[in-house]
Amino acid sequence: MNITKKDVDSLNAVVTVEIQKDDYAQKVNDILNNYRKSANIPGFRKGHVPMGMVRKQYGKAVLVEEVNKLLQDNLGKFLTEEKLEVLGNPLPKNEQDIDWDGEDFSFQFDLGLAPDFDVKLQGRKNITQYKVVADDEMIDNQVKTIRKQYGKLINKQEVEAGDEITGTFTSDEKEMEQKTTFETEVVKGKSQLKAILGAKPGDVIELKTKNLFADEHQNTRYLGVSQEEAKGLDITVKLTLEEVNARELAEMDQELFDKLFGPGVVTSEEALRQKIKEDAESQFVQQSDQKLLNDVVDSAIENTKFDLPEEFLQRWIQVSGEKELTDEEAQAEWERSEKGLRYQLIEAKLRKDNNLEITFEELKSYASDMIRAQMAQFGQTNPTDEEVEGIVARIMANQDEVRRMSEQLGTNKMLDFYKENAKLKTKEVNYETFIKEAYA
């Protein structure tokens, strides 16, 4: 057997695999002899079927199967030994021309090769790294929400500002019948609010949906329409009022603090506000990190220039799925996947060049930290090492869990690397500003 590679250009090559009779003959003969021993053919005793008949009936099928096994095994070994960074899979070039009645075979495969490039993380523009803080307004609103949640409901017979009302929205036009509960504070339209204030249980109120709520997305929550319908919804609905309640706010005392965080964890309103701030900002870090990661990825793709074997990859996309795609479908799929492929190559190079690969010990340590944090949430603050190690062992035996943790740890490593090496500028904002700027 002989395997050679010929470069077409820096991104494309052709591999030729030459297989001679000596490479497969013994294996084919062994298989046919086993067939002969077990073949059950009328007119012949088992094990006494003439080899010529066995070869005529099974020979070509066995030959094709064994040659293809040799081909795939040795082609894969060649690519590994030559350390070729191949994109997609080798594509047969001359499979229609193979003469299976011959003894020697020559197979050719097109290869798409990964480009050689340097990653450019730092472009001309700084990337914004948001530091999201919980401002006084947010903390005030959270305190108010908590006090409402743990306060008392007082039933009323007439709606006043700030009350909580329960009723059913109906509309023949939209075939709507949605029971819901909301506070008068979420009503934006002045005319709609005027119609609701003073209403009593049993009243039927006609309301325009345009500008009914402060946010159009609330149409989905309170009216039960789809997200598509919620945008710009402008119909008349009827609200049948069923119940009116006022919420008496819970007292800011130790009883409330203990309900929220456990006995003695928080002992004052100031400490409560600080705890709310810390918890909120901890959650904000995850969102701002995800935004940073997305922006760095986009910047790296934009600033790191390299060519790809596009024609080869489109052909590979065309034939690699369960159903062969048309030229137009393959082109469209390539356009959808090109950005992702470029980042895969960029990330792989960064991991290799900067020793960012994940080790088994790092994965075990990550799993251990995760388990301890989860146990702490349920009050187990001091588990023994044996307890934790036992759980980690079970997790590490689950391939799906290992894959999930590897992805999480890998993302964390890349994020830390980007924070140290990308061109960043820090901007401190409140959550509302972050949402407007990050997801405009």
Q: Is residue 129 part of a domain?
A: no
Q: Is residue 147 part of a domain?
A: no
Question: For the whole model, what pTM was predicted?
Answer: 0.74
Q: CA of 146: how far to CAs of 185, 284, 336, in Å?
A: 16, 19, 45
Look at residues 87, 113, 139 and tell me which one is the last residue of a structural domain: 113
Q: What is the dihedral of CA 117, 122, 125, 128, to 10 degrees?
A: 120
Quote the pLDDT of residue 311.
95
Quote the pLDDT of residue 333.
95
Helix H or strand E encompassing 220: helix 218-223
> Which structural domain range is residue 172 located in?
152-248
Domain identity same for 48 and 174: no
Domain identity same for 286 and 184: no
Domain identity same for 196 and 332: no
Domain identity same for 201 and 317: no
Domain identity same for 64 and 173: no
CATH at residue 28: 3.30.70.1050
Q: Is residue 141 part of a domain?
A: no
Domain identity same for 22 and 82: yes
Q: Is residue 324 part of a domain?
A: yes
Q: Is residue 256 part of a domain?
A: no
Quote the pLDDT of residue 142.
94
| pLDDT-flagged residues of the chain (< 70) | none
Quote the pLDDT of residue 235.
94
Quote the pLDDT of residue 192.
95
Domain identity same for 75 and 185: no
Domain identity same for 177 and 282: no
Phi/psi at 27 (nearest 5 deg)? -65, -45
| pLDDT digits 0-9 by tens, 47-80 | 777 888 888 888 899 999 999 999 999 999 999 9
Q: Is residue 375 part of a domain?
A: yes
Domain identity same for 160 and 71: no
Quote the pLDDT of residue 49.
78
Report how far Cα 335 is from the mean position of its chain's Cα atoms: 20
Q: Is residue 367 part of a domain?
A: yes
Quote the pLDDT of residue 217.
86
Q: Exposed, middle or buried, 238 (CB in 10 Å: 0-12/13-18/19+)?
A: middle
The number of folded domains in the chain is 3
Domain identity same for 320 and 190: no
Please give the Cα distance from 225 to 279 (Å, whole number): 33
CATH at residue 232: 3.10.50.30
Domain identity same for 49 and 7: yes
Domain identity same for 288 and 415: yes
